């Protein structure tokens, strides 16, 4: 199932005209938490609306088809959204544009997969980019994120920052990460970046100064051959800048994860890439070998990129062997266990964000479903010919046949 994380409100009222946007935190009508200006009572029924007025809520966020009538005595701020956003709950944070009534779910308190889009700008143009870059002035997003951080539950286990290239406005973004250090010191912070900015010593030194106790940088290296990496990201000399950035980060003691997205340009050489990483970058903190999300540019480039995971399984298994032998922590993301060699199942993790994660009918009778990544529901999903239920009977018959 894909959750709708953005949309247009049916109705709004009471917002000041001298401010373009607001960040809203939703609260249960009878919440005992101390209220702040950003807090809105979350109501779904006429009874909850009446109760919100009784307990003097000055701001209300209603999930309804628009048929709920407000008491004439209510004169505060109001947002009404359609019933498909019924997943919204106490503690969630929403960004709201006053003029257009457009809103985005920025944070869900009960979710383990919260991410902030930092910018849509990027100096790469990856062939399989799931968030195709745009040349726009979207610096307002960082201001919205800073406004959101003080509303997030300090017990949140993890936050991801993604793009675009997150370091497009590196000074402002580093200021946001310092806010995370001060407000969310117990939260694991992951930043997705192409890593090229870290070739600049000023930036990598500023990064070290952030001092968040659990900050991880996730950087893609798509091949051990520079021209293949540069072709995938559509940027000349990107490989050299990326590797230099990784070396500078590790020289300053900063955690780094390397990501390799697997498709027809990278998967056939994944064993070579794994061996090269094991020999040349064994000091990185994690390597993630990732199945392709068939959305964004990947749809347009499907004929160039699609490769059935069954066809690169052996090379993937050998890449995992090389990395593990070098002591590198390695995981496989976004690929269901049934399409992978059994030897790498311990490395396959549930990595797909809950708002875009699903299963097919065959999965209903699979013994491994509860520990499997499942599939992306976004874009135009592609399914391997190897998709099958894993059952004890099937595994036993396969063992006897071998």
**Nearest alpha carbon to residue 222 among 84, 151, 127:** 127
Q: Is 385 exposed, middle or buried (0-12, 13-18, 19+ CB in 10 A)?
A: exposed
pLDDT at 72: 85
What is the DSSP secondary structure assignment for residue 257, as one 8-state letter?
Answer: E
Residue 400's pLDDT is 36
Picking from 172, 47, 190, the residue whose alpha carbon sits closest to that of residue 114 is 190
* Token pair belonging to 70: 């407000």
CB count, 10 Å around CB of 216? 18
Size of the chain, expressed as the number of residues it contains: 402
Q: What kind and span of H or E run contains 78?
A: strand 77-81
Rounded CA separation 191/167 (Å): 9
Nearest to 91 by CA among 148, 133, 17: 148
Beta bridge partners of residue 39, listed in sequence order: 25
Q: What is the pLDDT of residues 230-287, one digit of tens each?
A: 999 999 999 999 999 999 999 999 999 999 999 999 999 999 999 999 999 999 999 9
Rounded alpha-carbon distances, angstroms, from residue 134 to 165, 194, 305, 379: 11, 16, 22, 18
Q: How far is CA 16 from CA 7, 53, 76, 93, in A?
A: 21, 21, 11, 19
Which residues, 6+ apart, have CB-to-CB distance to 382 below 8 Å?
292, 294, 302, 306
Strands (E), 82-210: 93-97, 102-107, 115-117, 158-162, 188-192
* pTM of structure: 0.94
Six-digit token string for 350: 């549930």
**Three-state DSSP class for residue 121:** coil
Instruction: Return the pLDDT at 73.
Output: 85
Residue 81 and residue 94 in contact, taking contact as beta carbons nearer than 8 Å: no
DSSP secondary structure of 7-68: EE-SEEE---TT-SEEEEEEEETT--SPP-TTEEEEE-SHHHHHHHHHTT-SEEEEESSS-P
pLDDT at 402: 36
**In which residue ranges of the chain is pLDDT below 70?**
393-402
How many other β-carbons are positioned within 10 Å of the β-carbon of residue 255?
15
Give the CA-trace dihedral at 87, 43, 148, 119, to 10 degrees.
Answer: 50
State the Cα–Cα distance between residues 383 and 43, nearest whole angstrom: 40
Cβ-count burial of 192 within 10 angstroms (0-12 exposed, 13-18 middle, 19+ buried)? buried
Report how far residue 309's alpha carbon sits from residue 264's, in angstroms, rounded to the nearest whole number: 10
Whole-angstrom distance, CA of residue 15 vs CA of residue 26? 16
Q: What pLDDT shows up at residue 393?
A: 54
* Cα distance between residue 69 and residue 75, in whole Å: 13
Is the separation of the CB atoms in 374 and 330 below 8 Å? no
Angle in degrees, CA 170, 176, 178, rounded to 5:
105
Tens-place pLDDT, residues 30-86:
999 999 999 999 999 999 999 999 999 999 999 999 888 888 889 999 999 999 999
| Residue 343: count of CB within 10 angstroms of its CB | 14
């Amino acid at each position: 199932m894909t959750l709708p994380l953005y949309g247009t409100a049916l109705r709004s009222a009471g917002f000041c005209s001298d401010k373009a946007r607001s960040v809203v935190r939703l609260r249960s009508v009878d919440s005992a938490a101390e209220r702040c200006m950003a807090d809105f009572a979350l109501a779904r029924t006429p009874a909850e609306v009446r109760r919100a007025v009784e307990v003097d809520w000055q701001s209300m966020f209603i999930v309804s088809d628009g048929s709920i009538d407000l008491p004439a005595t209510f004169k505060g701020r109001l947002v009404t959204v359609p019933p498909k956003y019924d997943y919204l709950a106490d503690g969630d944070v929403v960004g709201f544009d006053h003029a257009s009534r457009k809103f985005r779910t920025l944070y869900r308190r009960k979710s383990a997969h919260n991410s902030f889009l930092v910018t849509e700008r990027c100096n790469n143009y990856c062939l399989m980019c799931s968030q195709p870059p745009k040349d726009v002035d979207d610096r307002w997003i960082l201001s919205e994120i800073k406004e959101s951080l003080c509303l997030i539950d300090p017990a949140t286990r993890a936050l991801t920052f993604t793009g675009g290239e997150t370091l497009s406005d590196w000074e402002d973004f580093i200021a946001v990460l310092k806010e995370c250090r001060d407000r969310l010191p117990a939260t694991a912070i992951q930043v997705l970046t192409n890593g090229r900015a870290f070739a600049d010593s000023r930036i990598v030194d500023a990064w070290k100064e952030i001092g968040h106790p659990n900050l991880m940088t996730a950087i893609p290296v798509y091949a051990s051959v520079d021209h293949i990496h540069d072709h995938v990201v559509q940027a000349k000399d990107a490989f050299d800048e990326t590797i230099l950035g990784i070396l500078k980060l590790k020289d300053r003691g900063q955690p780094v994860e390397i990501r390799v997205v697997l498709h027809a340009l990278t998967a056939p050489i994944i064993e070579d890439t794994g061996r090269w990483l094991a020999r040349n970058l064994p000091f990185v903190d994690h390597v993630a070998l990732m199945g392709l999300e068939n959305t964004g540019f990947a749809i347009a480039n499907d004929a160039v990129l699609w490769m059935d995971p069954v066809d690169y399984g052996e090379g993937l298994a050998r890449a995992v062997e090389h990395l593990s032998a070098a002591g590198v922590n390695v995981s496989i993301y976004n690929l269901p266990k049934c399409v992978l060699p059994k030897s790498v199942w311990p490395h396959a993790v549930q990595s797909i964000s809950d708002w875009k994660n699903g299963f097919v009918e065959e999965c209903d009778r699979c013994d491994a479903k509860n520990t499997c990544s499942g599939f992306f529901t976004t874009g135009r999903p592609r399914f391997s010919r190897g998709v099958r239920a894993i059952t004890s009977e099937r595994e036993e018959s396969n063992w006897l046949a071998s």
